[in-house]
Structure 1
Amino acid sequence: MKLYNIKCPEQQVSFAEAVQIGLGKEQGLFFPAELTPLADVDALLDLDFVTRSSQILHHLIGDELSYDDVQKMVQAAFTFPVPLKEVSAQVHALELFHGPTLAFKDFGARFMAQCLKKFAADRKITILTATSGDTGAAVAHAFYGIENINVVVLYPQGKISELQEKLFCTLGKNITTVAIESDFDACQSLVKQAFDDAPLREQIGLNSANSINISRLVAQICYYFEAVAQLPKSQRSQVVISVPSGNFGNLTAGLLAQTLGLPVKRFIAATNVNDTVPRYLRSGQWQPKPTQATLANAMDVSQPNNWPRIEELFRVKSRQLSELSEGVMTDDQTKAALHELYLQGYLGEPHGAIAWKQLSEQLGADEQGIFLCTAHPAKFKSSVEDILQIDLELPQALAQRAELPLLSEQFAADFSILKTLLEKVSA
């Protein structure tokens, strides 16, 4: 698999190099040089999830890894179900929260861990990643205890849910967590500054496990195929998928799946009031505003890192961004949507509720809708209980960590402090 740096196209790398580098020169994202459609999608959709995913990923990665190697990596990473639940005759929920950290990030993080174990050999690696909620837990758990790999996770202090924080800030060992006294965009900025420091990058073997890493992104392609595979064949020709969107890696993966031949009529980018992309799609003006804290905190991103990949995909495939649908919701609208969804018999959480509401409002009479449920409702226990006036039982993954003490450090959004920490962790 050959990839190039969107900002510096002369930088071309293999899949293994892209996984280990993370970000390219000038903070550029890596993008596949070729996206050849799959030969027989209908036959693929008849396979089981692991077998199908192995074939898709081997098709993308190419000869760098044997099919047997890819299959072993997929078997080790995708060890949990991906159920598609019917909400109404026209609408289904794709539940992506049955992994060890109860969020869709488990797919990408666990596959990336398998990739780095394969490619890094005995070299020491320091993974630096920013999280607005779920990425941190998925990455921390995926790499927990892996020899020669240290993980540093930055998150905005007070802007993720208490249970999200407990899930990854109570591990210790090779996992270091830092509460940054600012917002998620500041965390992302610190990550980028670290990657811009070439001597530091070389010294500590710096890598990132955000959705900017290509291994995470290609892994997410697989569950879009699984979603469509679980629909009756008669319903596969008019599929609309609504994606709760923050950093836009999830939507990028869906669009890549579509490019490979998955029959999706269109996508809806559903956001909260951090609506840089919806406003851009309407006006053509990229005008980020200060990030606002919302109920759907994993989407509290005003400068989404993955958006350049979407623009690049549309450019190379001569597509128009107007093909994307979008929708924006306030916290009050999110509360109403969560309640409405619950009255329909489905228990969701803020991110999924936003995706569902936008789907229900935009779905045509002849279309079949799927909305992505990216996290277990219990990860947002206090807000869900308050909105719906119910008591939520904690799943085991959360219950076993809820009473543990936080092990996080806390400091200002200051790169010099972060650099000192990174050097200490990797020593």
Structure 2
Amino acid sequence: MNLYNLKDSSEQVNFQQAVKQGLGRGQGLFFPETISPLENIDALLAMNLVDRSTEILSHLIGDELSKEMLHSIVSKAFTFAAPVKKVTDRISALELFHGPTLAFKDFGGRFMAQCLAHFKDDGRITILTATSGDTGAAVAHAFYGMDNIDVVILYPKGKISPLQEKLFCTLGGNITTIAIEGTFDDCQAMVKQAFDDQELKKTIGLNSANSINISRLLAQICYYFEAFAQLSVAQRENLVVSVPSGNFGDLTAGLLAKSLGLPIKRFIAATNENDTVPRYLQNGHWSPKTTIATLSNAMDVSQPNNWPRIEELFAVKGWSLSELGYGKISDAETKVTLVEMDKLGYLCEPHGAIAYRELTNQLKDNETGLFLCTAHPAKFKESVEAILGRGIFIPEALAARADLALLSKEFPADFAKVRELLMAL
């Protein structure tokens, strides 16, 4: 698999290099040089998740990994289901929260960890990542206890839910968590600064597990095929997929699935009040505002990292951005939607509710809808219970960590302080 740097096309790498390097020169994202359609989609849809995902990933990655090795990696990474659940006669939910950290990030985080464990040499690796909630837990648990791999996670202090925080800030060992006095965008900016620091990169073997890492995106492609496989032939006709969008990695993966030949009619990018992309699609001006804290905190991102990949994909495929649906949903609308969904018999959380709401706003009479549920409602226990006026079940994965002490350090949004900690590792 050959990939090029979107900011410097002269920098070209293979899959292994892209996984180990994370970002290219000038903080550029790596993008596949070729995306050829898959053959016989129907045969793929008849396979189970692991076998199908192995075929898809082998098609993309090529001979850098044997199919046997890739099957072993996928088998270790995808050990949980991604069921499609009916919500209304025309709308279903793709539940991506049945992994160990109860969020869609488990797919990408675990696949990346297995790839990196396979590719790594005897040197030490330091994973540095920023999280607005779910990435931190998925990455921390995927890499926890791995030899010669340190993980450092930056997150905005007080801007993720208490149970989200407990899930990854109570591990210790090779996992270091830092609560930054700022926003997710501040955390993300410091990760990018670190990758521009050549001395730091070389000294600690720096890598990133954000959705900027190509391995995570490739893994996420697989659950779009899994969702499609679970739908009836009638439901697959004129399928519209609504994606709750913050850093836009999930939507990027869905669009890549479409480019491989998965016949999804169109996508909707559903955001909260941090609506940089909806405004851009409406008026053509890229004008990020100060990030606003919302109920859907994992989407509190004003400068989404993966957007350049989406623009590149549309350009390469000759698609028009006017074909991409979009919309923003306020906290007030999110609350009303959660209550509405609960009355339908479906328990959801703020991110999924935003995707559902925007889907109902835009779905046409002849279309079928699918929206992504990216996290378990219990990860947002306090807000969901307050909105619904009742208690909700807490899965064991969360309950087991709820009373543990936080091990996080607290830093100002100061790269020098973060750099000092990284060098001390």
TM-score by length of 2: 0.99
RMSD: 0.5
Q: Which residue of 2 aligns with 1:23?
A: 23
Structure 2 matches for 1:81-100, cutoff 5 A?
Answer: 81-100=81-100
Q: Deviations over 1:65-92 (max 9, x none)?
A: 0000110000000000110000111000
Q: Deviations over 1:338-384 (max 9, x none)?
A: 11111111000000000001111111111111000000000000000
Q: Which residue of 2 aligns with 1:382?
A: 382
How far apart, CA to CA, are the structure 2 residues paired with 1:284 and 1:99? 38
Instruction: In structure 2, give the amino acid aligned to 1:421.
Output: L
Does 2:264 correspond to 1:264? yes
Partner of 2:9, secondary structure, is coil
How far apart, CA to CA, are the structure 2 residues paired with 1:8 and 1:148? 31
Instruction: In structure 2, give the amino acid aligned to 1:313.
Output: L
Does 2:371 correspond to 1:371? yes
How far apart, CA to CA, are the structure 2 residues paired with 1:415 and 1:278? 30
Instruction: In structure 2, give the amino acid aligned to 1:399.
Output: A
Q: Which residue of 1 aligns with 2:229?
A: 229
Partner of 2:192, secondary structure, is helix
Shift of 1:223: 0.2
Structure 2 matches for 1:314-393, cutoff 5 A?
Answer: 314-393=314-393
Instruction: In structure 2, give the amino acid aligned to 1:367.
Output: E
Q: Which residue of 1 aligns with 2:420?
A: 420
Partner of 2:237, secondary structure, is helix
Q: Which residue of 2 aligns with 1:288?
A: 288
Partner of 1:312, secondary structure, is helix
Shift of 1:237: 2.2
Q: Any unmatched runs of 5+ in structure 1?
A: none
Q: Which residue of 1 aligns with 2:122?
A: 122
Structure 2 matches for 1:60-99, cutoff 5 A?
Answer: 60-99=60-99
Instruction: In structure 2, give the amino acid aligned to 1:422.
Output: L
How far apart, CA to CA, are the structure 2 residues paired with 1:360 and 1:386? 24
Q: Which residue of 2 aligns with 1:138?
A: 138
Q: Deviations over 1:128-157 (max 9, x none)?
A: 000000000000000000001000000000
Does 2:303 correspond to 1:303? yes
Q: Which residue of 2 aligns with 1:177?
A: 177
Q: Deviations over 1:363-413 (max 9, x none)?
A: 111111100000000000000000001101210000000000000000101
Report the count of equivalent residues. Answer: 425
Q: Deviations over 1:166-193 (max 9, x none)?
A: 0000000000000000000000000000
Structure 2 matches for 1:193-208, cutoff 5 A?
Answer: 193-208=193-208
How far apart, CA to CA, are the structure 2 residues paired with 1:325 and 1:67? 36
Instruction: In structure 1, give the amino acid aligned to 2:103.
Output: A
Q: Deviations over 1:60-119 (max 9, x none)?
A: 000100000110000000000110000111000000000000000000000000010010
Does 2:7 correspond to 1:7? yes
- Greater CA drift, 342-351 or 229-238: 229-238
Instruction: In structure 1, give the amino acid aligned to 2:393.
Output: E
How far apart, CA to CA, are the structure 2 residues paired with 1:171 and 1:25? 33
Instruction: In structure 2, give the amino acid aligned to 1:340.
Output: E
Partner of 1:194, secondary structure, is helix
Partner of 2:8, secondary structure, is coil
How far apart, CA to CA, are the structure 1 residues paired with 2:20 and 2:104? 22
How far apart, CA to CA, are the structure 1 residues paired with 2:193 and 2:406? 26
How far apart, CA to CA, are the structure 1 residues paired with 2:93 and 2:388? 19
Partner of 1:410, secondary structure, is strand
Partner of 1:303, secondary structure, is coil
Shift of 1:218: 0.2
Shift of 1:37: 0.3
How far apart, CA to CA, are the structure 1 residues paired with 2:64 and 2:274? 39
Partner of 1:177, secondary structure, is strand
How far apart, CA to CA, are the structure 1 residues paired with 2:247 and 2:393? 29
Partner of 1:57, secondary structure, is helix
How far apart, CA to CA, are the structure 2 residues paired with 1:41 and 1:424? 50
Q: Which residue of 2 aligns with 1:47?
A: 47
Shift of 1:319: 1.1
Does 2:117 correspond to 1:104? no
Q: Deviations over 1:209-255 (max 9, x none)?
A: 00000000000000000011000122212110000000000000000
Instruction: In structure 1, give the amino acid aligned to 2:228.
Output: V
Shift of 1:48: 0.6
Q: Which residue of 1 aligns with 2:248?
A: 248
